[in-house]
Amino acid sequence: MKVFIAGGAGFIGSHVVDHVLGASEAAVTVFDNFTSGQRWHLGHHAGDARLTVVAGDLQDRTAVADALAGHDIVYHFASNPDIAKAMTQPDIDFWQGTYLTQNLLEAMRATGVRRFVYASGSGVYGETGLKPVHEDWAPLLPISTYGASKLACEALIGAYCHMFGFRAWAFRFANVIGPRQTHGVAYDFIKKLRRDPSQLEILGDGSQSKSYIHVSDIVAAIQHVIGRAAAAFNYYNVATEDHLDVRTIAEMVAAELGLRDVAFRFTGGDRGWKGDVPVLRFDLTKIHALGWCARLGSGDAMRRAIREMLEERS
C-alpha cells in the first residue's frame, strides 16, 4: 500500500501520517509546499525509509503527477487553513482550495489513482442556527469563501467519482483542535495572553458556540469510515455531540495559564468576522450508525488541546 498525503506536513495531515506509519506497513509520500505545514511536524519520523517528503506545490500539475504515480490512495489536506484571511485576500480560497483540488483530481485521473479522501468542513452549510444539520441538508448556502470553496470541491469530487470511476470520502469537520495547530480561538488566546496577561481581546460577544473536536478523534473517524463506507462518493459530518462557547474557552485558557482576574474585552457583535458562522449544531446520526463517535467531548478536547499547545510552546 502506498499512501499520498497532500498537505501532510500540516496540522491534520501530519497526524494522519503518524497514524498510517504507526498502524500499518504502508509507504507514505507527503507532498507539501510548507507555507503552513512545518518540517518539525514530521521530524520524529526521520530515518523511516517508508516516508518520502516532496517539497512541491499542487499548482504544478506535472510535479504532482510525477510524485503521485504508483500510489493507491490520496488524502487531501492542502488548502488555506484560515477562514478570516479571505477578508483581505478574497481569492485565496479559490487558488488555495478549489483550484488545487481540481489539479489533484486531474493528476489522479492521469496516473490511474482512484481513491480519494478529502478534508471538507462545516462551512458548506452556511448559517443554520440551532437546528442540527445532517449531511443532506438543503440548500447549502456558505457565507464564507472558505465554505464556498469546500462545497465546490465536494461537487468536483462527486463528479469525478461518477464520470471517472473514483471512490471518495469527504469529511465535514467541526473545529479541529490539538497539537501542531497553527490558528484557532484557543491558539489565538494563548498568544494574546502571553503578550499581555492582564487582559484579553475576544472577537464578538463571546456567545459564539460550536463543536470542538480533538485531532486524534478526527484521525480515528477517517480511518473508521473509509474502511466501511463503500459508495462511489461518501460524505460525513465529524463532530462531537456537544459544544463550547468562546467565553468558556477564554476562561479555560486563562486557567491553564494560571492567570486570575483577566479583563475580557469583547469587540461586540454576534461573530468574530464577516463569514464566521457564530452557532452550528451537527446531526451525527449517519456516522454514529456506522459505529463511530468521538471519544472526547468539546470540553475535554479543548482542555487537552490547550495543554498540548502550551507544552509545544514552553
In this predicted model, what pLDDT tens digit does every residue of 268-311 receive, in sequence order?
999 988 889 999 999 999 999 999 999 999 999 999 999 999 99
Q: What integer pLDDT is reported at residue 169 of this predicted model?
A: 99
* 171 within some domain: yes
Q: What integer pLDDT is reported at residue 91 of this predicted model?
A: 96
Q: In terms of domains, do 170 and 38 share one?
A: yes
Cell digits for 189? 488566546
Q: What integer pLDDT is reported at residue 273 of this predicted model?
A: 84
Half-sphere exposure of 103 (CA within 13 A, CB side): 20
Q: What integer pLDDT is reported at residue 35 of this predicted model?
A: 93
Q: What integer pLDDT is reported at residue 144 of this predicted model?
A: 96
Q: In terms of domains, do 191 and 265 share one?
A: yes
* 165 within some domain: yes
Q: In terms of domains, do 229 and 262 share one?
A: no
- Over range 205-229, report the average pLDDT: 98
Q: What integer pLDDT is reported at residue 85 of this predicted model?
A: 87
What phi, psi does 9 have (nearest 5°)?
Answer: -100, 5
* 50 within some domain: yes
* 204 within some domain: yes
Q: In terms of domains, do 48 and 129 share one?
A: yes
Q: In terms of domains, do 63 and 200 share one?
A: no
Q: In terms of domains, do 24 and 63 share one?
A: yes
Q: In terms of domains, do 43 and 76 share one?
A: yes
β-strands 244-245, 209-210: how paired? antiparallel
Please answer whether residues 169 and 116 qualify as being in contact, where contact means their C-beta atoms are separated by less than 8 angstroms. Answer: yes
Q: Which residues of 141-159 are buried (b: 16+ CB within 10 A; e: fewer)?
A: ebbbbbbbbbbbbbebbbe
Residue 136 CB: number of other CB atoms within 10 A? 9
Q: In terms of domains, do 184 and 305 share one?
A: yes
pTM: 0.96
- The strand ranges marked E within the chain are 2-6, 27-32, 51-55, 73-76, 115-121, 167-173, 175-177, 199-202, 209-210, 212-214, 233-238, 244-245, 263-266
Q: In terms of domains, do 200 and 272 share one?
A: yes
Say what percent of the chain tops pLDDT 90: 95
Over the stretch 189-198, which tens digit does the pLDDT of each residue have? 999 999 999 9
pLDDT band at 54 (very low <50, low <70, confident <90, very high): very high
pLDDT mean across residues, the chain: 97
Q: What integer pLDDT is reported at residue 313 of this predicted model?
A: 84
Q: What integer pLDDT is reported at residue 314 of this predicted model?
A: 74
For residue 227, the domain's CATH number is 3.40.50.720
Total structural domains within the chain: 2
pLDDT surpassing 80 at residue 203:
yes
Please give the residue range of the domain that contains residue 207: 178-211+242-280+296-312
- Over range 102-112, report the average pLDDT: 98
Over the stretch 132-161, which tens digit does the pLDDT of each residue have? 999 999 999 999 999 999 999 999 999 999
For residue 200, the domain's CATH number is 3.90.25.10
pLDDT band at 64 (very low <50, low <70, confident <90, very high): very high
Q: In terms of domains, do 46 and 90 share one?
A: yes
Q: In terms of domains, do 123 and 32 share one?
A: yes
- Over range 13-37, report the average pLDDT: 97
Q: What integer pLDDT is reported at residue 82 of this predicted model?
A: 81
Q: In terms of domains, do 139 and 198 share one?
A: no
Over the stretch 28-44, which tens digit does the pLDDT of each residue have? 999 999 999 999 999 99
Q: What integer pLDDT is reported at residue 38 of this predicted model?
A: 96
* 290 within some domain: no
